[in-house]
Structure 1
Amino acid sequence: MTSDISSEFVQLKQEKIAVLYGGNSAEREVSLNSGQAIANGLEQAGFDVVLIDTKFVPLTDLVSKEIDRVFIALHGRGGEDGCLQGALEYMGIPYTGSNVLGSSLSMDKVRSKQIFKACDLPTAPFAVVGKNDFDDLSLKTLLTELGGRVMVKPANEGSSIGMAQARTVEQLRNALIEAFGFDDEVLLEAWIDGPEYTVAILGDKALPAIHMETPREFYDYEAKYQSTSTQYHCPCSLSDSDESELKKLSLKAFNATGAKGWGRVDVMRSSRGEWQILEVNTVPGMTETSLVPKAANVYGLNFSELVTQILLLSIKK
């Protein structure tokens, strides 16, 4: 440790750290697991930690509990979209990860895609559909214009919740109805035929890329959290030049949405070898078997060291 890091480490050891987890989003169960793992890792590193489930404890209690700093482990709405970040800034409590703007833009799949396109970053062709803004004729046109097969994604959900693929107008209509149960705006993305990768970001560094393989049609909620057949490859078997290009692209995407501190960028590679950015995650899963800890382990950081580094980054932003 440098002297600066050592002084920051000493400062954090004197603080009371709250890990905010649970909440009310569709990703509550994932968040409960992440929060518990993070708290365990921080306690192992010697920090004074309290777990707080925001479903049952109001944020105002952070003041009465004399919380000095927050480690955000809330996935999805309310925790990853800028709302919590804004409340903590208003209360004057420092926190891990991205600020209000970076959180909000990264969470919104539609705005993220628009930013990627504006920044000339590679991303698949897409269209946006409103809840009361489509009929069978327009769906047929959209499906044709996007290559005949699409991914349907609620604009503001994570963990692949509400996502589906569609090849026909009937499938697309049904997928949209399902997605509109989560959001009033839905992203249609041209199908990318190729492998999926993810790159964890820690500060200004891109960690080793992970290649995910699933026998399912795509890397959905079941493949992420329930299946025993999903395989994770890290090192990911890319050539040095290809992985270097992927890391640089991931950092550019992360910075483009204003994300800060730590996170994860999901990318696919088309059958023609072209990288296509999917999205930026500012509060990705953090169980000990999640993707960011897997990459950190290959990089040389165990779980406790990883959460300590994330906490240290909250001082520097």
Structure 2
Amino acid sequence: MLIQYKITLPYNHPEFTLKALGSSAELIFNRPDLLLRSSNFFNMLSHPQSWDYLDGLFLLVFPLFQLAALVGVLAFLKWVGGASRLQVMVRDPKFMLFKTVVISILLLAIVVVSAPTKTPSEISARIKYQEAVKNGETHLRNGKIEEAKADYIQAAEMAPKAWKPYFMIGQTWQAQGRIDEANRYFRKVLLYNPIDSPTLTLLGNNLKRLGKTKDAEKMLRSAIRAWPLNFQAYDSLAQVQATQGKREEAIQLLNYAVQINPNYGPGHLNLAMTYHSLNREQKSRYHFNRALPLGLTGPVVEQIKSMLFKTPK
């Protein structure tokens, strides 16, 4: 049930295809965030979220029904007798293997038969959508923001319920400094994929920059809940907490970030600054020294160094 909840559920949307079933290895190695879609079961955070109906359905109701079915089968086998022919056959390893193969083939056949067929026009539209997305990626790599934006807008028009084009349109507006427009498209993403952690993080960061602290905190906590390994969301939430004077909680969140990714330089640098604000200079200098070899340079870093070590600027 845990695998069903963590892996199958995120694909339970109109775009579900056999391709989703065949990409299990890619999902595990490239999208581990989907495997940790919710922190409710593991209670990984210090600020656990309340269960929603899907949590209760997949982690409580369905397992109870399965347990009841198992108890019923065992009771039936005991009732028919210990040496009955049926019980001997059911416990035969060959029978169990045969049953597993038959059920797997049956389930695969059900998926194949129930999968909606696509018309030639739908297939052509899908190919054009993929070409538009690919062109947008190429233009982004070449620094052509406006051309990329046009490509992604075209892709969004072809597939209005696909969230990725909206995310990329928001990214292009973000690159041009138009936070208001970026937020508008990030919110569109959340209409179709409300648990996308990168989108929640970007939106939370933008709300933080706009001074909307409570909304930013809500978005960033949602980002962490959607992907508990999102160290950048921990960092951003720590900054929100620090601005509210909650520096101890900020330190805890930053420690989460550098535990997840020990080579995350900004996390060490922010820890150094936060410890310094609490006059805990030993830990402040430790994290600053951890940050320096990780490629952090520039006038801001030099200014922090002069402040921590009392050296001339």
Q: TM-score under structure 2 normalisation?
A: 0.25
Q: Between Structure 1 and Structure 2, which shows a larger proportion of strand residues?
A: 1
Name the structure where helix makes up a greater proportion of residues: 2
TM value normalised by structure 1? 0.25
Bigger RCO (CA 8 Å, 6+ sep): 1
